[in-house]
Amino acid sequence: MSNSLKNKSDSEKLDFRRKSKFDKKLILSAVKNAFIKLNPVIQAKSPVMFIVEIGAVLTTFFTFYDFLRGKRENLFINLQIAIWLWLTVIFANFAEALAEGRGKAQAESLRKTKKEIIAKKIVNEKIEKVPASALRKGDIVLVEAGDIIPGDGEVIEGIATVDESAITGESAPVIRESGGDRSSVMSGTKVLSDWIKVKITANPGETFLDKMISLVEGAKRQKTPNEIALNIFLIALSIIFLLTTATLEAFARYSHTIVSIPVLVALLVCLIPTTIGGLLSAIGIAGMDKLLKYNILALSGRAVEAAGDVDVLLLDKTGTITLGNRMATAFIPAPGVSEEELANAAQLASLSDETPEGRSIVILAKNKFNLRERELKNLKMTFVPFSAHTRMSGVNIEDREIRKGAIDAIEDYVRKNGGVIPPEVKLTVERIAMEGGTPLIVAENAKVLGVIYLKDVVKGGIKERFAQLRKMGIKTVMITGDNPLTAAAIAAEAGVDDFVAEATPETKLKLIREYQAQGHMVAMTGDGTNDAPALAQADVGVAMNTGTQAAKEAGNMIDLDSNPTKLLEIIEIGKQLLITRGALTTFSIANDVAKYFAIIPALFAKSYPELQVLNIMKLGSPNSAILSAVIFNALIIVFLIPLALRGVSYRPQNPNQILRRNLLIYGVGGLVTPFVGIKIIDLILTAILGIK
């Protein structure tokens, strides 16, 4: 059975989410939403466009006022200005609505999975059929082949293959089992074979599916700190231009040029940064949406931005770099111990060990020596469960203490009981570790019995992808609870830059803090409960979807495919988001400056013939100059929607090169386009429509 990581091309798999980008239904609903967003309460969230909306209201009001007063001479031109101001706001709203559209459509299809599910709740060891909506945290349910899992939870007993395609879009089934880091199951997914008992961990309405719906729908999207800062800058610019326009009015009065309110509003709107103001939120939403296309759920926009600046990536080993299905493959006894004796002790120490490792040991012992689970009732056994802190597990039977665990942990344990690890066993440990396997040492009180060989497989295609990350200037560090030799072997096989072995959850957290203190932006990927503190501390915490509930709650992104090398895409999308925002801000401001020089000479040419020198554009008339500028200002938003949604093309390049290139394209481009655009519109207006 293939694990969730496969080499299938991304495009093939993602068809599920992609659909056609601009299909008719999406556009129609975006048009509808563009009008709904005119509601001032909603519009106020985008301050620059809110100013335009107020301007549109004022212009409309004055146009009608003039009409009622019988002042007809400027009626047509004012009406035109009013219409184009409204269109400016509607175009910007349309951009945002279009960016939100795909998420909304996907939320719709996710909702369909939420139809009423019947749960088999276990009450007093009997099954009671109840609706999923009646389940609460702590309830225990049985889910059998063919059943839909009624709520989020942890598998507490059993093992099953689960079809998670309703949520992940991935058709290959995944294994869910109790104990290890693959124990969490999601509401709305389907058990294909076998059965599991699940302890519910989320109340109805708070499940992963519910969260995912509100996330893709954008219902909970909040502005990121960067967006807020840019908005403040745009508001400040707008205020400066508001004052400029006001002085212009005084100046015009003085020079006996009559500038009406609609014209002043038009001037103001042309000057304030409407292009970026109108596209800003669409850019942010598009970034999160792009991640979704790669099957990554970004729980916050802030994380997407942070991803653009990540330069250190920490990864947990088992389940992240490797498939995480560590299986016992051999018992290698210590001198003077028989293999059966070792297998016997290993099995006893694993009888209640619900980790995949523990279960695989019981199975190997059974297969090799036909060791049956003994008459447990006659023995007084106390089990010592595995923990990431002790890195050991085992059993106490009267005064026998059997332990199995990592080399350093068992070494400490044996020493405390007055024993040592025989040199032969140390050699075996080294040999297994150098092959990339995980050696588990088995000991009884002071005596070392031997070694269990646990094998795990590195996920496919990882090395090439880490090489790409290196090219982008990102350092990869594997951080594992395993011993240094195994860690070194897997690190070499996976091609990470560095590794830290014998790590506890605290070590992981500390390492991230250290990197952050040195000014690095740190991403962490992991799947285990012991990774949760680190995932929460990292600037970008990517939890594997196969991982535990705790890991998924701690991270700010979830990779539905559980592929750690996706960080590559995450970082690219983050960088692209930052670059696109920067490029369009540059373009917008350059544009506004250019527009200023295009309009002013035309407006004042009558009163100040000297200004004719500046009137290089030779626009038809002051009226058509103003109207052309307003129309250009509105249309440029529409033209830039595809770029805002798609993002500026990104190649791994040094940041200075990128900055220089973008300043050139978007700065110079921003200065030139208005001259060309306004001239063309002016020609059309004067020649074809006869506006004077």
Binding site for ligand ATP (CB under 6 A): 316-319, 353, 355, 357-358, 386, 388, 391-393, 404-406, 438, 440, 480-482, 503, 528, 530
Amino acid at 403: R
For residue 115, give every residue at least 6 positions away whose Cβ sits within 8 Å of its Cβ, in sequence order, or none.
none
559 is in an annotated binding site: no
In the complex, least distance from residue 355 CB atom to Mg ion, rounded to whole angstroms: 11
389 is in an annotated binding site: yes
11 is in an annotated binding site: no
393 is in an annotated binding site: yes
Q: State how far the Cα of 492 lies from the Cα of 496, in Å rounded to an integer.
A: 7
Question: Binding partner of residue 163 among Mg ion, K ion, ligand ATP, none, CB under 5 to 8 Å per kind?
Answer: none
Q: State how far the Cα of 54 lies from the Cα of 342, in Å rounded to an integer.
A: 81
In the complex, least distance from residue 494 CB atom to ligand ATP, rounded to whole angstroms: 11
Q: State how far the Cα of 271 lies from the Cα of 672, in Å rounded to an integer.
A: 16
In the complex, least distance from residue 528 CB atom to Mg ion, rounded to whole angstroms: 4
Question: Binding partner of residue 187 among ligand ATP, K ion, Mg ion, none, CB under 5 to 8 Å per kind?
Answer: none
Question: Binding partner of residue 274 among K ion, Mg ion, ligand ATP, none, CB under 5 to 8 Å per kind?
Answer: K ion
404 is in an annotated binding site: yes
256 is in an annotated binding site: no
Choices 203-211, 358-366, 418-426, 528-536; region in contact with Mg ion by CB under 5 A: 528-536
Answer for which of 59, 224, 318, 483 binds Mg ion (CB under 5 A) is: 318
Site string for K ion, 589-628 (x = CB under 5 A): ---x------------------------------------
Q: Which is nearer to Mg ion, 354 or 572 (CB)?
A: 354
Helix (H, G, I), strand (E, B) or coil at 501: coil
Q: State how far the Cα of 671 lies from the Cα of 548, in Å rounded to an integer.
A: 53
Neighbour-count burial of 206, counting CB atoms closer than 10 A to its CB (0-12 exposed, 13-18 middle, 19+ buried): middle
What's the per-residue H, E or C state across 402-446?
Answer: EEEECHHHHHHHHHHCCCCCCHHHHHHHHHHHHCCCEEEEEEECC
Taking Cα atoms as reference points, which of 314, 289, 656 lies closest to residue 500?
Answer: 314
Residue nearest Mg ion by beta-carbon distance: 528
In the complex, least distance from residue 627 CB atom to K ion, rounded to whole angstroms: 15
In the complex, least distance from residue 630 CB atom to K ion, rounded to whole angstroms: 9
Neighbour-count burial of 349, counting CB atoms closer than 10 A to its CB (0-12 exposed, 13-18 middle, 19+ buried): buried
Q: State how far the Cα of 280 lies from the Cα of 401, in Å rounded to an integer.
A: 64
Q: Which is nearer to Mg ion, 224 or 318 (CB)?
A: 318
Catalytic residue among 139, 316, 456, 539: 316
Taking Cα atoms as reference points, which of 61, 46, 90 lies closest to residue 238?
Answer: 46
Which two three-digit tokens encode residue 363?
């199975």
Q: Which is nearer to ligand ATP, 30 or 478 (CB)?
A: 478
User: Which residue matches tokens 């092959």?
Assistant: 435
Residue nearest K ion by beta-carbon distance: 274
Q: Which is nearer to ligand ATP, 88 or 352 (CB)?
A: 352
333 lies in the binding site for Mg ion (CB under 5 A): no
Answer for which of 528, 533, 547, 622 binds Mg ion (CB under 5 A) is: 528
User: Which residue matches tokens 């175009």?
Assistant: 91
Answer for which of 316, 411, 559, 682 binds Mg ion (CB under 5 A) is: 316
Q: DSSP string covering 320-362, please?
A: IIB-S--EEEEEEEPTT--HHHHHHHHHHTTTT--SHHHHHHH
Sheet holding 522-526, edge to edge: 296-298, 557-559, 540-544, 522-526, 312-315, 475-479, 498-500
181 catalytic, yes or no? Answer: no
Question: Binding partner of residue 78 among Mg ion, K ion, ligand ATP, none, CB under 5 to 8 Å per kind?
Answer: none
Binding to K ion, residues 269-288 (CB under 5 A) = 274
Please report which residue ranges of 184-300 form alpha helices under DSSP H.
208-216, 225-254, 261-271, 274-293
Binding to K ion, residues 221-280 (CB under 5 A) = 274
210 is in an annotated binding site: no
For the chain, the straight-line distance linking the first and the last C-alpha, in angstroms and rounded, comes to 75
In the complex, least distance from residue 277 CB atom to ligand ATP, rounded to whole angstroms: 46
386 is in an annotated binding site: yes
In the complex, least distance from residue 197 CB atom to ligand ATP, rounded to whole angstroms: 20
Q: State how far the Cα of 311 lies from the Cα of 300, in Å rounded to an integer.
A: 19
391 is in an annotated binding site: yes
Known binding residues for ATP are 353, 357, 386-393, 404
Q: Which residues bind K ion (CB under 5 A)?
A: 274, 592, 633
Known binding residues for Mg(2+) are 527, 531
Q: Which residues bind Mg ion (CB under 5 A)?
A: 316, 318, 528
Known binding residues are 353, 357, 386-393, 404, 527, 531
| Residues known to be catalytic | 316
